[in-house]
Chains A and B, each alone.
Chain A
Amino acid sequence: MTWSAAARGAHQPDNTAFTQQRLPAWQPLLSAGITLPLFFCAGLAFLGLGLGLYYSSNAIQELEHDYTGDADAGSCAACAAQGQGRAPPPPCSCSWHFTLSELFPGPVYLYYELTGFYQNNRRYGVSRDDAQLSGLVSALRHPANECAPYQFSAAGLPVAPCGAVANSLFNDTFSLWHQRQSGGPYVEVPLDRAAIAWWTDYHIKFRNPPLVNGSLALAFRGTAPPPNWRRPVYELSPDPNNTGFVNQDFVVWMRTAALPTFRKLYARIRQGNYSAGLPSGAYRVDIAYNYPVRAFGGHKLLVFSNISWMGGKNPFLGIAYLVVGSLCIVVGFVMLAVYIRYQDQDDDENDDE
């Protein structure tokens, strides 16, 4: 087929690398030369990472206590029994005593943990109005339909904040007391309850409606609190920066958990004498036992924990890295063995490719 290339036909296709599928290309091949070093390097790297993670995770101390009170353990059992079958349960308080024999290094974080609580249930999760929470007045007056049945109160007033998530706000409160010497008085350990929520949540996502005459209460006038709440939303805290929709406890709660067992940050201990951690001694946690969990077989836990560079205590991640790393190296060796075994046959074929 030798025809003159001089006269280009009207329909002649373009002769470009793209149209002729001749783009310069690199054709990576699964060859032992690449894979083996990859496996060994990855293995070593993962082992290193895993060791680091493992040790840093191990260095973290954790102290947790189940105060649900269903095992007749502790003083909360009475509260639990008292609240049984009553909604809303009557206010009750109990306490938890524990002793630290040595310093619990700081900064110490206080969490509460709930189990068996399905914050990820779809009906529960959608029952909120982000528009309302972002401070839109119109949404405040007209909560979204998803909030039903916590959309309007029995009196017909719009609920603020509406929805099941807000309605089920965790309302146990804790205070920590420290007895420096045995028999001595209990001194209250200051709990830093600020900045426990995500920065973006507190500063951006959750906004109070514009103040009316400088008063938040007026802004919320004409709304009803969720039925389970004892106080209206603007009275959640005396601190004007921590009340209303931007109350940190509320914000933390509103960031729903992924799994039915979850921990939420309650407070940080980093002030005064306790900035270095909790010194040794006896401690008492006073608990305002309000939140009913026994109905659905859940548990309430209190957790003291400190953190490392990679966050809270998390032994699994380190172990996982260690396992993956060592497996990589083992597989690498097996591969090497197989490669050597079949190398001869490989050679000529590799030449082809």
Chain B
Amino acid sequence: MGRATTREDLQDNKDTAFTWEVKANDSTYHQQFREKGFLCWRKRKYQTNGIHTAKYNIFSFLPRNLYEQFHRVSNLYFLLIVILQSIPEISTLPWITLFIPLLLLLLIRAIRDLVDDVGRHRSDNAINNRPCQMLIGKSFKWRKWKDLCVGDVVCLTRDSIVPADLFLLASTEPNSLCYVETADIDGETNLKFRQALAVTHHELISPKTMAAFNGTVICEDPNSRMHQFVGSLEWNGRKYALDIGNLLLRGSKIRNTDACYGLVIYAGFDTKIMKNCGNIHLKRTKIDLFMNKLVVLIFLLIMVVSLVLSLGFWLQAHEFRDKHYYVPAGHAKGPFVDFFLIFWAFLILLSVMIPMAMFIISEFIYLGNSAFINWDLKMYYAPHDVPAKARSTSLNDYLGQVQYVFSDKTGTLTQNIMSFKKCCIDGRIYGPDNEDKTFPKENPYLWNEFADGKLSFFNKELLSLVRTKQDKVVQEFWRLLAICHTVMVQEVDNQLLYQAASPDEEALVTAARNFGYVFLSRTQDSITVVELGEERVYEVLALMDFNSDRKRMSVLVRTPEGSICLYTKGADTVIFERLYKRGVIEANTERILSAFTEQTLRTLCLAYKEVEESAYQQWQPQHEKASTQLQDRAKALQQVYSDMEQGLQLLGVTAIEDKLQDGVPDTISSLKKGNMKVWVLTGDKQETAVNIGFACQLLTDDMLILEARDVNIILDSYGEHSKLVRTPKRSLRFQLQNEVAMVISGEFLDHLLVSLRKEPRAVIQSEAEDKARQELSAIRRFSMMWWSLGTSLSSRRSKRKRKNESPEARRERAFVELASRCQAVICCRVTPKQKALIVALVKKYQKAVTLAIGDGANDVNMIKTADIGVGLAGQEGMQAVQNSDYALGQFCFLQRLLLVHGRWSYMRICKFLRYFFYKTVASLVGQIWFAFYSGFSAQPLYEGWFLALFNLLYSTLPVLYMGLFEQDVSDTQSLRMPELYVAGQKNELFNYWVFSKAIIHGLFTSLVNFFLTLWITCDTAGPNSLSDYQSFAVVVAFSSLLSITIEVMLVIRYWTFLFLGTLLVSLGSYFVLTYATQSLWAYQLVPKTFPFLYVLHSVLSKAPFLLVVLLNVAVNTLPILALRMFHHMLRKPRFKEQVEAFPSEVSEEPMPQFRRESRVRRSSYAFSHREGYGNLITQGTSLRRPHGEGSDTNVPSGTEIEEVLPSTPREPRKISFMMSQRPQLRSRAPSQDSQMSSTLSLASTPDPDPGHSGNQPAATNRPLTGQGWLSEDSSLPFAEAEAPVLERSSLPWDKSSGGWAQGLWQKASVPNQVAIETSPSQTQESLSELPMETESESLEREPSPMEWLPVSSEGQLSPPLGEQAPVGTKGQVSPNTGQPVSRRPDPRDKGAEPFTLSNKSGST
């Protein structure tokens, strides 16, 4: 898979040609295109929307299944043998001997495949038959998903699922917006919006106009890049640029939009989500592969043995022909032909040693173990009624060998539920009274008609404080929560429904609502709140929205009483530096903040101030000026906001819990004890991921956390120092002593994968070297680290001697080796594809068994790539589950799945294989010995029926029992001692050594059975003689059967009545069937097939035979028993010594590395917030289009010019061209620029603890802000970044700090420009230099690429506005001063009603 993925990626980069042409409402056009397919079969270029994942249909099942089955070499081989067997010349065995097992094998497999495929057919049908409305003629009619074709126009209503990748034409929402939820695609539950082109939105207002729509979309060919789309719409002679923001992806859900209309661009398998699903790969376990290897080995051995025996025949052939006249000469065709024939005869004879039955039985074992997983009550998640489900039945033993666990975060580790957990008001903590989760008997919020009753937080004291309205701070606290946010409200069935950009915010507003401060509705310039029953309308004077470097959000409101208040909530650091005083309460609060953080709660500080009317009057013009400014509006506004947000009074702190799923920390710690590496791969932000990492104890405080930059340094130094060879002991010590964790981002991986994609190496190298040269101090810091780490890597490498590797591959290998040394690795902001690439990377370089667990469609790729994919059946759709090998209800079940079921399965299959090989050799090798006594004539030693049934029946059931029920330790013990799991990771239970031991043991048994019997036979005569062939055969067979049965009794550690049953049945079947096949009845039927008439009977009726059998069994069993006993007795003390010796290796050695500052406080605002709907709310129309492929692409400044001119009509942007410039830009990176950035970083490093530096508020912390700003804006358009900030704030109250800020801002802007020119990742490197010591928030970057919320810059007039202006009837003046929003000329729109997300009146 790994290889496939990278190749796919390479392709992705190439196929950006714009050959995909979609004509609206013209299906015949699309049908004419054919692509070259197989032979004369020509595939349609534009597929329909139906998907077919099933393999067979009724007619193709038999031929195709047989074809597939005989694709397996073993089956083909057996078929060949069966065919050969029918040639009388070389037929040494009766036809039944091999034919029956083969038939059974084929039958069982076919049935299994059939069952699987029926399931696939069902799910395909379910999906293909979903209804959707499509435009037929001039009206919309209900059709099925599979009827959709490229070019069709589709109407989607609220909560419907997007059936294909659609180009959004129009929606019922104002501003041509359409809200979607992409939970099924990327697992994020918050709302995103897509926007239609203004031109289509305004023109296509009825089905008629839609039907007449004849635009042509030209875009890229279908590809798997979820967050990129480049194309253009040609309509009425004009061209309009399209990007991902215009696209509705298949699988997303329409929310809060009554109806929207889209044009199908990609359908069926061409859709982005399907392209991302990758192909179905057959997963095979290590053991399975090993088993096949061994079978090949056995086959080769058999060939060799046959050859040797045939040679023996050849040597004797002469003698036999000349002297042994009684032997029929055969068809004297010369000795060579005889030799050739006898070779095949031996091959057939010995082919019974190729354990065909092993394949059949192992299928049963896999099936049975899967059933046990399905049946396990302890993995049943009752709340959702979800049992564990093994969807793939052939991977169970892999579960016992997992070394790497890749986990998604949202929905997998966390429940994706934010709950209001605690708060601190005025320096006092109010925790939940109901810690034990017993909710008070009666709902404490009953007095409040607006309470939704879902708040689990309850504090009696606080409640009474709130209700008595005594405490002003408490009042303001809740008021703030009710006012200061960007939540949209919607009324459904008289219930308020909040829609927030982040779940945190929703939790806060909901908490306020339950406490009686109910946010009721909002318009552009007012917020209506019910405060303990009293409705109050606040006039919004300004809404200063969150963005990732402000890390706060404020609302300036005029209360109904007429006073002006500023309410601010934000990250603790930014709030604390803006307080007007730092008193006892503040200090208290800070302590509480730390405590909250320790409990891994996400905190948020609330503050407010009352603004003098005069101050506001002074400020207001500046604000207005800033918001109407055409250039650098964002920056200007930020400055203005910052001026206002000073001198605040702290209200309190809220603490929100990102609820982990049950038992996650326990599970992770026991997985870690089981020597599994847990990696968290998430699309979320770094801070969130790290926070969760701490919460689930993946990360601990005393861990050394490496970040992208550190990793880079180590990797670079690794290359330079690879010649140094150190003792491996050092590295071991390093590993034991320091818990190392790694936190990297998707960008870093991009970097790594850039090398994977064979981009010019020079670029990376020079960058890296520059970095290394500049950051001497950093190098010094890390010098010790690579002494220990780098050299250990290299010493390992030197062993491998892979000198021919490309530098890129070496870097990758080094990275993987480094990462594999880390106790935990967290990758944030990774795309689904990157998730898969990481897994593939580890698989490629570590050859380890990987397990990926996730719950969303964004995990599908990873789940498919990993050796084992586990899907959580959560709220986020079933995509993950449908592509997984195992489906679980909860993350914590993973523990049981791996440690109990996985270990058992592995142990069982290993024991099974070991025993099976033993048993095969023990009983069937006798045939080889016999050849020496039968003149190498390939005479079978055993009766044909014995051979046919031995592996099928006589010895099967105990083995099957072993594979299904064996338990070496109980499940509770397995869970208690995760260390036991290590055996599986090291392949200890079945490997070449174990295999050869089994073979040797088998040889011993067969030798004893054959030769003891032989010697005794030689010596006997008389009526009781067993010297005749048939008795001899039966005695040896019976001894063998008893020997291996006793062996299985010794091996099984878990005796139940079932086991006794299997013993009885298998031995019983031997007697019964032997008697049956040796009965007169059978003999009379076909004497030739049943020649052993009554042999067993006469053997058993004579005491000496039994004595021989007893002797054989005793000689076989007792030495082995004695050996095991000695082993057992001698091993134990040794084992103990080892255990004692182990910890002594951990010697004290000073930690060379810098420990990070103790835990940085984690503020929820910084974590989960994205920019809300602030822009929408205050300006409505001024939605700036996201750039290019999204936030991780720098769109060069060229586009800005067009965009800032409102009157210019939108021209198609040549984005692909601009993107192709990126590498060039990067390579230009001048070294002195990086020096600049390093000076900057040095300047800011000394700042020891900004969190406590509130006494000199602005000064020391400004650089940080600059830093954050820099990181934020690295992706903003050049136009903003390059322009110096010239206007100076002339506000009276904050001159000094403003001046400070000015200077620093200017300073910061220079490296900023550089950073943009170099590369995003380098910027990030230079930034991440001081992250943990200073503030993790400074790493904040732009919102996730999956996100299409407006970027912060309010200063942009978007082109749609320009176009809308003449159309807009209600006349809008300035977009940002709270005037009526520009609305689409939709007659249904009633205008100035409260601005809510839903447009209730216009429902269809």
Q: Do A and B come from one complex?
A: yes
Q: Which residues of A contact B (CB under 8 A)?
A: 1, 3-5, 9-15, 19-21, 23-30, 32, 35, 38-39, 42, 46, 49, 53, 87, 109, 111, 113, 117-125, 127, 129-131, 133-134, 136, 144-146, 148-150, 164, 167-168, 198, 200-201, 204-205, 255-263, 265, 292, 295-297, 303, 305, 307, 309-317, 320-321, 324, 327-328, 331, 335, 338-339, 342, 345-346, 349
Within 8 A of A (CB), among B1105-1124: 1107-1108, 1111, 1114-1115, 1118, 1121-1122, 1124
Contact partner, B1094, options A32, A130, A148, A200, Cβ 8 Å: A200
Contact partner, A297, options B323, B328, B663, B1087, Cβ 8 Å: B323
- A179–B92 Cα distance when bound, in Å, is 52
Q: Contacts A12-B377, A118-B324, A317-B1108; is A311 near B1054 (CB within 8 Å)?
A: no
Query: Which residues of A lie under 8 Å from residue B1023 when comparing CB positions?
Result: 109, 265, 307, 311
Q: Are B1022 and A305 in contact (CB under 8 A)?
A: yes
- A307–B1104 Cα distance when bound, in Å, is 12
Q: Contacts A13-B380, A123-B330, A312-B1021; is A324 near B1115 (CB within 8 Å)?
A: yes
CB closest chain-A residue, reference B1032: A258
Q: Are B1054 and A121 in contact (CB under 8 A)?
A: no
> How many residues of chain B have a CB within 8 Å of chain A?
96
Q: Are B1016 and A130 in contact (CB under 8 A)?
A: no
A-B contact pairs, 16 of them (CB 8 A): A3-B382, A12-B385, A20-B375, A30-B1128, A46-B1114, A109-B1023, A118-B934, A123-B937, A129-B1088, A130-B1088, A164-B328, A258-B1028, A292-B325, A316-B1019, A317-B1111, A331-B1118
Q: Contacts A125-B939, A127-B328, A335-B1125; is A21 near B1021 (CB within 8 Å)?
A: no
Q: Are B1093 and A200 in contact (CB under 8 A)?
A: yes
Q: Contacts A12-B385, A311-B1104, A346-B1132; is A265 near B380 (CB within 8 Å)?
A: no
B621 at the interface (CB under 8 A from A): no
Contact partner, A168, options B326, B385, B1104, Cβ 8 Å: B326
CB closest chain-B residue, reference A21: B372
Q: Are A328 and B1118 in contact (CB under 8 A)?
A: yes
CB closest chain-A residue, reference B382: A3
Query: Which residues of A lie under 8 Å from residue B1093 when comparing CB positions?
Result: 200-201, 204-205
Known: A14-B375, A204-B1093; 14 extra A-B contacts, CB below 8 A, are: A1-B662, A10-B385, A21-B967, A27-B1055, A28-B1055, A35-B1121, A118-B935, A122-B939, A201-B1093, A257-B1027, A259-B1017, A295-B324, A311-B1022, A335-B1126
- A3–B1125 Cα distance when bound, in Å, is 48
CB closest chain-A residue, reference B1049: A28
Q: Are A312 and B1024 in contact (CB under 8 A)?
A: yes
B611 at the interface (CB under 8 A from A): no
Q: Are A25 and B1107 in contact (CB under 8 A)?
A: no
Q: Are A32 and B327 in contact (CB under 8 A)?
A: no
B67 at the interface (CB under 8 A from A): no
- A115–B515 Cα distance when bound, in Å, is 107
Contact with A along B407-425 (1 / 0, CB 8 A): 0000000000000000000
Contact with A along B1040-1056 (1 / 0, CB 8 A): 00000000001001111
- A131–B222 Cα distance when bound, in Å, is 72
Q: Are B324 and A11 in contact (CB under 8 A)?
A: no
Q: Contacts A25-B1054, A297-B323, A310-B1104; is A120 near B1019 (CB within 8 Å)?
A: no
B1014 at the interface (CB under 8 A from A): yes
Query: Which residues of A lie under 8 Å from residue B1247 when comparing CB positions?
Result: none
Q: Are B375 and A130 in contact (CB under 8 A)?
A: no
Q: Are B1054 and A167 in contact (CB under 8 A)?
A: no
- A259–B1054 Cα distance when bound, in Å, is 42
- A146–B1016 Cα distance when bound, in Å, is 32
Query: Which residues of B lie under 8 Å from residue A32 when comparing CB positions?
Result: 1125, 1129
Query: Which residues of B lie under 8 Å from residue A335 when comparing CB positions?
Result: 1122, 1125-1126, 1129
B383 at the interface (CB under 8 A from A): yes
Contact partner, B1136, options A38, A148, A150, A345, Cβ 8 Å: A345
Query: Which residues of A lie under 8 Å from residue B1056 when comparing CB positions?
Result: 23-26
Query: Which residues of B lie under 8 Å from residue A35 when comparing CB positions?
Result: 1121-1122, 1125
- A27–B1053 Cα distance when bound, in Å, is 5
- Minimum CB–CB distance for B586 against chain A, Å: 41
- A87–B328 Cα distance when bound, in Å, is 15
Contact with A along B327-355 (1 / 0, CB 8 A): 11110000000000000010000000000
- A345–B1135 Cα distance when bound, in Å, is 11
8 A-B pairs with the lowest CB-CB distances in the bound complex, closest first: A312-B1022, A311-B1024, A9-B385, A258-B1032, A130-B1087, A168-B326, A19-B375, A122-B937
- A262–B1057 Cα distance when bound, in Å, is 46
Query: Which residues of A lie under 8 Å from residue B1012 when comparing CB positions?
Result: 320
- A38–B1125 Cα distance when bound, in Å, is 12
- Minimum CB–CB distance for B712 against chain A, Å: 43
Q: Are B372 and A164 in contact (CB under 8 A)?
A: no
- Minimum CB–CB distance for B94 against chain A, Å: 11
Q: Are A20 and B1122 in contact (CB under 8 A)?
A: no
Q: Are B1018 and A259 in contact (CB under 8 A)?
A: yes
CB closest chain-B residue, reference A200: B1094
In this complex, the member of B938, B1022, B1031, B1091 whose beta carbon has the largest number of chain A beta carbons within 10 angstroms is B1022
Contact partner, A122, options B92, B387, B1019, B1025, Cβ 8 Å: B92
- A349–B1055 Cα distance when bound, in Å, is 22
Contact partner, B1104, options A38, A129, A314, Cβ 8 Å: A314
B11 at the interface (CB under 8 A from A): no
Q: Are B1132 and A316 in contact (CB under 8 A)?
A: no
In this complex, the member of B328, B934, B1020 whose beta carbon has the largest number of chain A beta carbons within 10 angstroms is B328
Query: Which residues of B lie under 8 Å from residue A262 when comparing CB positions?
Result: 1027-1028
- A259–B1011 Cα distance when bound, in Å, is 12
Query: Which residues of B lie under 8 Å from residue A28 when comparing CB positions?
Result: 1053, 1055
Q: Are B1014 and A259 in contact (CB under 8 A)?
A: yes
Query: Which residues of B lie under 8 Å from residue A130 when comparing CB positions?
Result: 1083, 1087-1088, 1091
B1015 at the interface (CB under 8 A from A): yes
CB closest chain-B residue, reference A315: B1019
- A131–B1093 Cα distance when bound, in Å, is 12
Contact partner, B387, options A13, A38, A258, Cβ 8 Å: A13
Contact with A along B371-407 (1 / 0, CB 8 A): 0101111101011011100000000000000000000
B314 at the interface (CB under 8 A from A): no
Q: Are A296 and B1016 in contact (CB under 8 A)?
A: no
Q: Contacts A19-B375, A30-B1125, A167-B326; is A257 near B1028 (CB within 8 Å)?
A: yes
- Minimum CB–CB distance for A207 against chain B, Å: 10
Q: Contacts A168-B326, A258-B1032, A338-B1126; is A310 near B1103 (CB within 8 Å)?
A: yes
B960 at the interface (CB under 8 A from A): no
Contact partner, A312, options B327, B376, B1025, B1124, Cβ 8 Å: B1025
Q: Are B1129 and A338 in contact (CB under 8 A)?
A: yes
CB closest chain-B residue, reference A7: B382
- A200–B1055 Cα distance when bound, in Å, is 41
CB closest chain-B residue, reference A46: B1114
- Minimum CB–CB distance for A18 against chain B, Å: 9
B563 at the interface (CB under 8 A from A): no
- A200–B1094 Cα distance when bound, in Å, is 7
Query: Which residues of A lie under 8 Å from residue B386 when comparing CB positions?
Result: 11
Within 8 A of A (CB), among B171-188: none
- Minimum CB–CB distance for B1310 against chain A, Å: 57
Q: Are A42 and B1114 in contact (CB under 8 A)?
A: yes
Within 8 A of A (CB), among B860-895: none
B1084 at the interface (CB under 8 A from A): yes
B776 at the interface (CB under 8 A from A): no
- Minimum CB–CB distance for A25 against chain B, Å: 5
- Minimum CB–CB distance for A317 against chain B, Å: 5
Q: Contacts A3-B383, A26-B1055, A312-B1025; is A261 near B1018 (CB within 8 Å)?
A: yes
Q: Are A259 and B375 in contact (CB under 8 A)?
A: no
Query: Which residues of A lie under 8 Å from residue B1143 when comparing CB positions?
Result: none
Query: Which residues of A lie under 8 Å from residue B1126 when comparing CB positions?
Result: 335, 338
Q: Are B1128 and A311 in contact (CB under 8 A)?
A: no
- A148–B328 Cα distance when bound, in Å, is 8
- Minimum CB–CB distance for B306 against chain A, Å: 14
